[in-house]
Amino acid sequence: MKDHVYKLIELTGTSSASIEDAVVKAIRRANKTIQHLCWFQVIDTRGSLRKGKIHHWQVTIKVGFAVDN
């Protein structure tokens, strides 16, 4: 049985819609250049305000993926 190794990278996704959508944006970007995405963890949830309203949700996640060869 093989013992896998995973790498974790940290991404901040942004969205004017919702926390979930900001995470989806970050995952979608990671998926463009990284294979074997396995899991994510939400690290920080922030946002920018403009004219007294939420302009962007900014959600920072760690994304784990297998790096075996």
Sites of contact with a copy of itself (CB under 8 A): 1, 3-16, 18-32, 37-42, 44-49, 52-54, 56-57, 60, 62-64, 67-69
The nearest distance, CB 20 to a copy of itself, in angstroms, is 5
The nearest distance, CB 64 to a copy of itself, in angstroms, is 6
17: DSSP letter: S
CA-based max dimension of the chain: 57
Task: Quickly tell me which residue has 């995973």 as its tokens.
Answer: 6
Residues 64, 3 contacting (CB under 8 angstroms): no
The nearest distance, CB 66 to a copy of itself, in angstroms, is 10
52: DSSP letter: T
